[in-house]
Structure 1
Amino acid sequence: MKKTEAHIKVDGRQLAGHFFEPSTGWPGILFIHGWAGSQKRDEKRSRAISRLGCICLTFDMRGHGLTQEEQQTVTRDDNLADIRAAYDVLASHPAVDASSIAVIASSYGAYLSTFLAAERPVRWLALRVPALYRDDDWDIPKYALDRKELQLFRSKQVPLHSNRALRQCREFGGDVLVVESENDHLVPHPTIASYLASFSNAHSITHRIISGADHALSEPESRRSYDELLLRWVREMVLDAR
């Protein structure tokens, strides 16, 4: 396995990223971090999955990593453009099978990945604690969204017809993993239930709850539990499909 730099160009900027790849070509996996996160949180998982024979790409969305000074101004549309650009870099890698790409995403990144899956070929979609947002204020900086209003919105199950992200989920025909944290106050169970109810056309849906975990997987045991279940799912879905 080797680690090499990836340069992702979007809207006149260059985002920092890293490939984790085996010595031969395999399926590609795009990691998408959450709000206020970074690609560093995905490096350990990328290394482990690349050893199974997958080419993994981690990267920092605008407003994170080396561009953190932009965090108060970036919008959901900006970060979706970042994700598209990162996907295109992965899909164009000479050793990647472009028909066999998985997306592994957390929270805000998981929300945005539903839009990516509607625009680009994605075969497998793993969503950890996927956040949900109203369709309104799409072009308002993410940092400026009202947190109390968001929590109220997420406290009840959202009808599929009233939310773009959920409607994108309905169209997805691949395999889905949804991971919930038992003690998550940012993304409570009704939000998870909204997502699960929306994947009506998925080839398969796997739902797992990490006992005692909070949103950020603050405890080492919670992180280990997630790492283990993610590896099992990748082995079953991605590697067995080769």
Structure 2
Amino acid sequence: MTLAEILAALFPAGHAIRVADGLVSGHGPLDGRQVTVIGIDGDTALGIEGALALSRAVLDAVRAGDRAPILVLVDSDSQRMSRRDELLGLNECLAHLAKALLLADQAGHPTIGLIYGHSAAGAFIATALATRVLAALPGANPSVMDLPSVARVTKLPLDKLQEMAKSTPVFAPGLDNMVATGAVHVVLDPARPLTEQVRALIADRPAEDVRDRLGAERGGRPVAQAVAARVAEAARLEARRG
């Protein structure tokens, strides 16, 4: 589905959402209140200007104090890998965006991500993965890092990584692997009304981050939940001693 089709399906009564330079921003009505909509469209790379603009939209929603949902629509490239952006602190801008979404979540705003195209690396982490619940449409193609890049970083042969990716989803890009690891909570059905499905995601969102549990249940991250539980318990014991 294209962005225009998604917006028409989500807001059949109309909306005030625009796209400028690949950045999505605005509002649309859902259940009698205005949903804040931000995102990236057209496989656009996310640079410092975009990260700060999206952060501002999220923080403006938090300042409004109405706890309305925030919907993050994603069809992006990776972060914009230019020397200019790196020197101006792109990593901090991406972190700022992710923290703004986490702040909104803590302030009571349901944060729902919907990836409908491509997304990768820092842009994927700072937008889609920073929401409480991440859904996808069939055909989406998310990845934290593609295998050729993993090969360059780890110095492992690409063919070895490709073989490992067949049985270890954390090594592999793509929607099926992101579902297996729990990063993507659910794949929506484009044949059913999107408004109903998004409404259900908002109403049934978990009270805490359950991605490690989903990864264990789906076999994509078999030990993450157990390790996280041990770390949390160790922190609690240390706090009692202190």
Band of TM-score, shorter chain: 0.3 to 0.5
- Structure 1 or 2: larger helix share? 2
Larger Rg: 2
Q: What's the TM-score, normalizing by structure 1? A: 0.39
Which structure carries more relative contact order (alpha carbon 8 Å, separation 6+)?
1
Q: What's the TM-score, normalizing by structure 2? A: 0.39
